[in-house]
Amino acid sequence: MRDPANSTDPASKQKRKKVPQRGKFGVYKRGGVWFAIVEYPRDSKTGHRTRKRTEGFRTQDEAEAERDRLRHEIRSGVDTAPQKLTFGALLDRWLAGKSTLSATTRQRYAGLIARVKPHLGTKLVGKIRPAHVAEVYATLLSRCRVCTLATGGSVRKHRCTSGLSPTSVNHVHALLKGVFEWAVRMQVLARNPIAAVEQDAPSRAASKVDAFSDSEIVALLAAARETRWARWDTAIMLALATGARRGELAALRWADVRLETAEGVERGTVMIRASFSETSAGVALKSTKTGRERMVPLSSLALDALAQQRFRQAEDAFKAGDGYSSQGFVFADVFGSALRPNEFTNAFRKIAKKAGVKKRLHDARHWTASHLLAAGVDVRTVATILGHSTPQTTLNVYAHQLAGLKEAAIDKLDVRLRAAIDRGRGGEK
């Protein structure tokens, strides 16, 4: 039996011209499988028309539904003509169009794309179905994270580990959702296959906040002062006192520090304007994570730390002589050059190991937020100090802390209510 989609018989072609492409027509059955045929507008360069035969369906109704969907896309001007556009190529095109991404975010997206390409990269964009996406999620969750990066069956020698965490797979889901939504907006696709698996995507785990204990802070500062990493104690102190991120500390300049004396008391502020980001491509100076500057008041301990840092830099300049070239950074090497963010991380890791503390430098930021909230500072002010985009971010990250504060607030309310009742009873007498 001839295939109506590919037949070259003139009589067959003449017969097809008489068949209206509406209603129940435009579909045919072959070998117990139903197919649909749609015709695309003439190519502007060649003048030729292109017919497309769909994949097979079990029933005539399914074939007709697919035929009607494709016709609707053609009438809507959607770019669904049969092209050899693979999903891997679409991912590359999407990432290339993200011209405003920071280097750090671009590298993170590239890492997520590398997770997806071995599984969907060679598939044609129009052929990807929700089942394919769900299968990728299941594979990433269950299979070794190194094996899932392999392409072409080649896997470097390694010891197999567990799969990705639900949070990591949720990041992959967010990436795919953004890519498919972009493809729909660009009229490369008419529908987003992610929509059908939205509820089945792995949920992002609640953020784990692990702030320093009081004893850990003492141990960290002591280890920093008593070892060859002595110059890092001021960086740790400023991280605790301001809640600044490591890239923001690295990009901090003396020009951003404002000092004044009011009524015999020295006060100061620091304006956090920029951040250093470090990727495999190098180090780049960029705006803060939210793109906004923020002013943070300085405590007396922070002022003492900055004064000590000034003194150390003066010593460095004296020792280096003509070899010292100050670039104005608060934290610099012995020759005045800026420090990379990873230098902060590596130094802290060594100090923490010496102090017996199993935490990250970023956990200093959690300590700042937790203690501000415990002191009764409102969420909006805490969000401003930390540089969160909205107070909702603070609420999401520190929900556990706020839950405890609610209980404490109710306890205080109970005390005041009891006192009011007692006063009222005393008045009755």
264 pLDDT above the threshold of 80: no
pLDDT (0 to 100) of residue 155 = 56
Confidence category of residue 18, pLDDT binned at 50, 70, 90: very low
272 pLDDT above the threshold of 90: yes
pLDDT (0 to 100) of residue 206 = 63
Strands 50-53 and 33-40: antiparallel
pLDDT (0 to 100) of residue 17 = 43
- Span 14-21, average pLDDT: 42
Q: What is the pLDDT of residues 166-189, one digit of tens each?
A: 888 899 999 999 999 988 887 777
Q: Compute the distance between CA of residue 368 and CA of residue 298 in angstroms, rounded to an integer.
A: 13
- CATH 1.10.443.10, applies to 214-362: yes
89 pLDDT above the threshold of 60: yes
User: What CATH architecture does domain 87-197 belong to?
Assistant: Orthogonal Bundle (1.10)
Q: Cα-atom radius of gyration of the chain, to the nearest Å?
A: 31
pLDDT (0 to 100) of residue 9 = 54
Q: Compute the distance between CA of residue 97 and CA of residue 92 in angstroms, rounded to an integer.
A: 9
Q: Contact, 250 vs 341, CB < 8 A?
A: yes
Q: What sign has the CA pseudo-torsion 416, 417, 418, 420?
A: positive
Q: What sign has the CA pseudo-torsion 168, 171, 172, 173?
A: positive
Confidence category of residue 311, pLDDT binned at 50, 70, 90: very high
The helix (H) or strand (E) run that includes residue 337 is none
Domain ranges of the chain: 22-75, 87-197, 214-362
Question: pTM higher than 0.75, yes or no?
Answer: no
Q: What is the pLDDT of residues 94-127, one digit of tens each?
A: 998 887 788 888 889 999 999 899 889 888 888 8
pLDDT (0 to 100) of residue 97 = 84
Q: Compute the distance between CA of residue 214 and CA of residue 75 in angstroms, rounded to an integer.
A: 67
270 pLDDT above the threshold of 70: yes
Confidence category of residue 429, pLDDT binned at 50, 70, 90: very low
pLDDT (0 to 100) of residue 203 = 78
